[in-house]
Amino acid sequence: MSDYDVEFSRAQFAQYRSPTSARLAFLENAGAAYAPDQVTQKLDRFFTKTKVQPYYLYKASLEAGAAMDRSNALLAASINAEVDEIHLGPSTTLNVYVLAQALRSQMSAGDEIVVSYQDHEANIGAWARLAATGLEVKVWLPDPATGFLNEEDLVSLLTSRTRLVCVTHCSNVVAAINPIRRFTEICHAAGARIVVDGVSFAPHGAVDVRELNVDFYLFSLYKTFGPHLGLLYCRRDHLAELPNQGHFFHDHEPSKRLTPAGPDHGEIACASGIIDYYRDLYQHHWPGTDFDARPLVRRLAQLFTLLNAHESEITQPLLDYLAANPRVRIIGYPSQEGQPRAPTVAFDIAGLDNKSIAAAMAAADIGCGYGHFYAYRLMQQLDIDPDQGVTRLSMAHYNTAEEISRAIDVLDRLL
């Protein structure tokens, strides 16, 4: 068993202190995760104390701006980026769309973009639409049986005209964690840039954009225990080349050039609570250690090693149970060992409707997802009717073995 104190984590979330919501075994974290007190209290303070236009000279305005600045600084440090390399927008989908519009100006008719059909539609649709502007959009297809991406297939798609490769760090259905550093090396060797959707990876691992050497990286804060914002990382040298997508008078402000409209100030202000929560988790498990004594991303990597051990431990019994039943098709690797995977388990059961499975889970106070999860094209590639989709149980570090056991009991009754 891991040395992780899951009860300490759960104590940071209001949901687990309420007699009503504490009964819910929330196993749909890949859709949206809970937010801890460190986040929600900051949001409450912003709206009750400093809900004003930030950055003016009176006290409330200064405090609002300082809270927003703190979030930007901590979020940038958490992925090993500079503050002027990150942009906070309303969602990852919109951030990708804005990025696509900016990058289009750097391409000519006949240039190529490679998109992966393992991805969420957020990192496909905006690029696919550029085909109407004269670009060629090529598809990197996952294996129709496993859903995995093959490196050799990527190599075969790249040509001298390839300008961009768009791929996920971790599929929200297949759950495979892709070797992004390796993909980046292949793309750069071919003269192409890479756009990585990290939405399903970031809740389970430290993102180091320098180590990955990526050009662009995106993820959603509401899936990393924060507010409903999307974070876009754009390497500083690339940003300088891109046309401003915001107001013309913000052209000289790097953090606003890929943010056409200002997102919710309060949500930005409370986002620093994500890092404060990680700090409290870290210091609880390594008492007497200064969380800020070395690069933040290194501390987070250490913390996530602990959290991942717990996630793997509670997820494996579910995978074992499903793998033992011949009626069940697990999407992706059927084990936490071997190919790296997130604690997200998508599956289809012959003879059972996915909505009925989710309904049975709900009746047992278990939060469960079903459908195509915006991975519509992946469903088609896997020969799954997107309108039916799959059932998905997705765990986070605050879930317990008892909650997984309850879900297995429901499945056992259905099967």
Q: Would you tell me how many other CB atoms lie within 10 Å of the CB of residue 49?
A: 13
* Distance from C-alpha of 349 to C-alpha of 410, rounded to nearest angstrom: 13
pLDDT tens series, the chain, 415 aa: 569 999 999 999 999 999 889 999 999 999 999 999 999 999 999 999 999 999 999 999 999 999 999 999 999 999 999 999 999 999 999 999 999 999 999 999 999 999 999 999 999 999 999 999 999 999 999 999 999 999 999 999 999 999 999 999 999 999 999 999 999 999 999 999 999 999 999 999 999 999 999 999 999 999 999 999 999 999 999 999 999 999 999 899 888 899 988 778 999 999 999 999 999 999 999 998 888 877 999 999 999 999 999 999 999 999 999 999 999 999 998 876 767 899 999 999 999 999 999 999 999 999 999 999 999 999 999 999 999 999 999 999 999 999 999 999 999 999 9
Backbone angles phi, psi at 88, to 5 degrees: -105, 115
Assess whether 157 and 260 both reside in one domain.
yes
Backbone angles phi, psi at 377, to 5 degrees: -70, -30
What is the extent of the structural domain holding 358?
Answer: 6-34+296-410
Nearest to 229 by CA among 220, 242, 216: 220
* Distance from C-alpha of 141 to C-alpha of 223, rounded to nearest angstrom: 26
- Letter for the amino acid at 49? K
CA distances from 102 to 18, 105, 342, 406 (A): 46, 6, 32, 48
Number of domains in the chain: 2
Rounded to two decimals, what is the model's pTM? 0.97
Q: Answer whether 329's CB lies under 8 Å from 347's CB.
A: yes
Buried (b) or exposed (e) across 218-240, using 16+ Cβ within 10 A?
A: bbbbbbbbbbebbbbbbbeebbe
Q: Three-class SS of residue 250?
A: helix
| Residue 204 belongs to domain with CATH number | 3.40.640.10
Assess whether 119 and 221 both reside in one domain.
yes
Assess whether 77 and 108 both reside in one domain.
yes
| Residue 383 belongs to domain with CATH number | 3.90.1150.10
Instruction: Calculate ∠ Cα 161-167-169, nearest 5°.
Output: 145
Determine, yes or no, domain membership for 285. Answer: no
Assess whether 50 and 198 both reside in one domain.
yes
Assess whether 56 and 183 both reside in one domain.
yes
* Distance from C-alpha of 301 to C-alpha of 310, rounded to nearest angstrom: 15
